[in-house]
Amino acid sequence: MEANLDIITRGLNDKQKEAVLTKNGPLIIIAGAGSGKTKVITQRIAHLLATGVNPWNILALTFTNKAAKELKSRIARIVGEEIADKVWAGTFHSIFARILRIEAEEIGFTSSFTIFDADDQLSAITNVMNILLIAQQTTPPQQVRSKISAAKNQMIDVDTFKQNAKSTLDKQTGLIFETYEKYLKDNNAMDFDDLLLNTIKLLEKSQAVLSKYQERFRYILVDEYQDTNRAQYRVVNLLAKAHQNICVVGDDAQSIYKWRGADIRNILDFERDYPYTKIVKLEQNYRSTKNILKAADSVIKNNKNQLPKDLWTDNIEGEKVEVIACADERDEANKIISLIKSSIVGDLSYKDFAVLYRTNAQALALENALRTANIPYVVVGGLSFFKRKEIKDITAYFRLLINKKDNEALQRVINEPPRGIGNTTMQYVRDYAIKKEISLYEAFSEAEQITGLQQRAVTAIKKFTEFVETYSAFENVEDVADYLSQFIEATGLTEMYRELGTDDANDRWNNIQQVISDISIYFKTNTNANLVEYIQQIALMSDYDEKNTSSDQITIMTLHTAKGLEYNTVFLAGLEHGLFPMVRDKDDDIEEERRLMYVGITRAEKKLFISYANKRMRFGQTELTSPSKFLYEIDADVLDWAEGKRLLEEKERRQNNLLNGKFNYSQGRSSDNYSQIPKSYGTAAPVTAEQKTTVFPFKVGDRVKHKVFGEGIISGLKGVGDMRQATVNFYSVGKKDFMLKFAGLVKVG
DNA sequence: GACCTGCTGATTTTT
DNA sequence: TCAGCAGGTC
């Protein structure tokens, strides 16, 4: 035992040790970025096991599949596969789905209930709206969906929602909400939020069930606690109440999911909920250089709402943060690539680099450039494999096999491939099913009695139900994987794509083949696996996780996806006002954007680059952009000298402009630097800043002076107005390109 | 019922 | 820009 403990705490600092060795009672670990959080969690579980806690009495909840997988494999490395397998470690959604399958009958579902993802949810809501005759134009289903989801996250039930509804939209949403809930039950389905809500209902309804799980989960651990919502908070509270052995780990500075219902109160109120809470702060950062940490700190300190903490590191000072100014997104991508190429020295290789961005749309330009440059890369996240149309079709077929009440699945596949059961037919069936309060599939069996149906349609329906029935007897099948692959073939989907033969169809066909092989692997590696579990796994999985972690490639992904990861060299791309921080409307939370920036900066170990473009394609149009305010928040000391200084000047200029109440670009000169479009062009429309055309008084051959680079000669000019750029050949440093509006060049001689 | 076409709105972020 | 869909035609 002694030896064991020694191994468990070896290499940990005092704070980490304290967190690991605190076995009983409520514990909150405030874990700064790069402070060895995952290690502490893993060692803590290892310690529980080493001191006699049964693995099945431990519940470890994570936020993402990736985190869960990582945790499981780390535990396995210490205590072995067999014991690790018995620990309940997984995402909130997967763990509670597992419990709900076991206890489904208690709350009026069957154990083969379907999980609706966001897409299913949306189409279910659209269906409900059609039934209620609510127009999509005045009541956008998308908005209804997010309102319902937000309500569920906050545990606001239908009745309360309806009572609080003031606006027309909210009142409509209330009606839809009510019918949607009934619709879910009729479909034997739960949406993502229900996996939590129904668990809460289950635990609150039956003391026996509650006690059962309280006894099972004597030790509870929650990772990324700052990102939990009220429903998650509630379910954890219920489970932990009896034994109070609850440990939550989080960092308020990295809370980036408020938009999804994450409630910072959960972390702030923890001490109030558990009066004898022990607090451990992990403040030593092992990941980043001093400069990177300083950059992160200088940004996050602009946030008012945060817990006091002092992140520090023993690591070297390191290189400064380099800012890269780019003309547009293509230039940005190319500059990033050439910087990566020139950075690969010593034992660095592609896998040590990551490019992070705010929106998935930014991946496109990067991907194109990387492909052209022949650099191996992987996009994490983005358009999920399981959200592709053909994959959703396949899984909808599976869903129908295990849950005939799943109307969403049925409607999705009924005419895919076309089998002569179109919208007119389905409308008759829907009307009939609603009237008789039965599922669509049940209505199919009474097809002859449905008024309006053509004989041809009735025949097609019979053929379809026969097909489904043939494959519904999967219970006693020996080789499920083989069985399913036959089933997929029998749906006619693969045949359809084969015959189409277009590039797009070939891709889709390939994707389906990938599912078939995935199924085969799944059933080979999970001996007790069944179809229900497999489908649930898909429903809760955003993508195939970490397919090629071993191969040497650059990783590109969104900032949200990057949370918890670290790379030697990190590029933060698209640091432009409006894009990052993203500002859409007044409700947007700048502090959350800043936390996201903080997360981004702290992903870097040794070197951080930050880039912005002066113009960028958005919505198919080129927009002029300006550097993000976050750039100006970074301590100028840690920014690369030339760029840092330039940014500082720019900032001063802006402040002066604000003071003077005007916006002039070249210092020392004012309105004579630009002329306006002649007023006669428009009638009464006011001239906005964007419409002004700036004319800079430079020509090729002019001698100019730059604050940083000194004197030089303009060797080229291009672009018009604000986009006008100059190439200047400096006596000191050679050729440099500038946007004139930022460069602050002054004519000399 | 299948196919074509022109329009619209989407770009946060995820279980 | 471009995918997805409503609405119209065959």
Report if CB A209 to strand B is under 7 Å.
no
Q: Is the dihedral of CA A60, A63, A69, A75 positive or negative?
A: negative
- The pLDDT of A660-673, averaged and rounded, is 31
Question: pLDDT tens for residues A155-206?
Answer: 899 999 999 888 888 888 888 899 999 989 988 999 999 999 999 999 999 9
Closest by CA to A44, choosing from A85, A80, A75, is A75
Two structure tokens written together for A749: 């001689």
Which amino acid is it at A727?
Answer: T
Beta bridge partners of A727: A716, A737
Active site residues of A: 37-38, 223-224, 254, 603
Residue at token pair 């599949």? A65
- H helices of A403-479, in order, are 407-413, 423-436, 440-445, 455-472
Which of residues 589 to 628 on A have a Cβ less than 7 angstroms from any strand C atom? 617, 619-621
CA torsion through residues A302, A303, A308, A311, sign: negative
Chain-centre distance of CA A673, in angstroms?
45
- What is the spatial distance, in angstroms and rounded to an integer, between the CA atom of A165 and the C1' atom of C8? 39
Distance CA A138, CA A129 (A): 11
What does the H/E/C string look like for A673-706?
HEECCCHHHCCCCCCCHHHCEECCCCCCCCEEEE
What percent of chain A has a predicted confidence (pLDDT) above 90?
33
Distance A169 CA to C7 C1' (A): 26
Q: Is the CB of A719 under 7 A from strand B?
A: no
Q: Taking the model in full, what pTM does it have?
A: 0.77
The answer to whether residues A190 and A100 touch, using CB atoms and an 8 Å cutoff, is yes
Instruction: Assess whether pLDDT exceeds 50 at residue A4.
Output: yes
pLDDT-derived band at A516 (thresholds 50, 70, 90) equals: confident
* Structure tokens, A431: 């009307």
Query: Of the candidates A194, A176, A196, A199, which has an alpha carbon nearest to the alpha carbon of residue A124?
Result: A176
Query: How many Cβ atoms are within 10 Å of A376's Cβ, its own excluded?
Result: 13
Query: What is d(CA A37, CA A55) in angstroms, rounded to the nearest whole number?
Result: 21
Check pLDDT > 70 for residue A654.
Answer: no
Tokens of A746: 């002054």
Range with the lowest mean pLDDT among A135-139, A390-394, A670-674? A670-674
**Nearest alpha carbon to residue A574 among A738, A286, A359:** A359
Considering only the C-alpha atoms of chain A, give the largest distance between any 2 of them, rounded to a whole number of Å: 95
- Give, as one character, the DSSP assignment of residue A319: P
What is the average per-residue pLDDT within A58-72?
Answer: 89
A276: CB within 7 A of chain B nucleic strand: no
Q: Which of residues 381-410 of A touch strand C (CB under 7 A)?
A: 389
Task: Report the C-alpha dihedral over residues A587, A588, A594, A600, rounded to 10 degrees.
Answer: 150
Tell me which nucleotides of strand B come within 7 A of a protein CB: 1-3, 9-15
Closest nucleotide C1' to the C-alpha of A423: B1
CB crowding A109-144: b at 16 or more within 10 Å, else e = beebbbbbbeebbbbbbbbbbeeeebeeeebebeeb
Residue–nucleotide distance: A121 CA to C1 C1' (Å): 28
For the ranges A7-11, A148-152, A588-592, A621-625, the maximum mean pLDDT occurs at: A148-152
Provide Rg for chain A, Cα atoms.
30
Over chain A, what is the mean pLDDT? 82
Contacts of A349 (CB under 8 A, 6+ apart): A552
A156-170 confidence digits (pLDDT tens) = 999 999 998 888 888
How do residues A562-598 score in pLDDT, each as one tens digit? 888 899 999 999 999 888 888 766 556 788 899 999 9
Highest mean pLDDT: which range of A477-491, A592-606, A733-747: A592-606
Measured CA to CA, the distance from residue A620 to residue A681 in angstroms comes to: 26
Q: How far is the CA of A593 from the C1' of B12 (A)?
A: 11
3-class DSSP assignment, residue A110: coil
Q: Which nucleotide's C1' atom has the smallest distance to the CA of A621? A: C1
Q: Does the CB of A504 sit below 7 A from strand C?
A: no
- Beta bridge partners, A247, equal A27, A221
> Residue A668 CB closer than 7 angstroms to strand C?
no
Alpha helices (runs of H) in A217-345, residue ranges in sequence order: 230-240, 265-268, 270-273, 290-300, 329-343
Shortest CA distance to A615 belongs to which of A416, A329, A361? Answer: A329
From the CB of residue A503, how many other CB atoms can be counted at a distance below 10 Å? Answer: 8
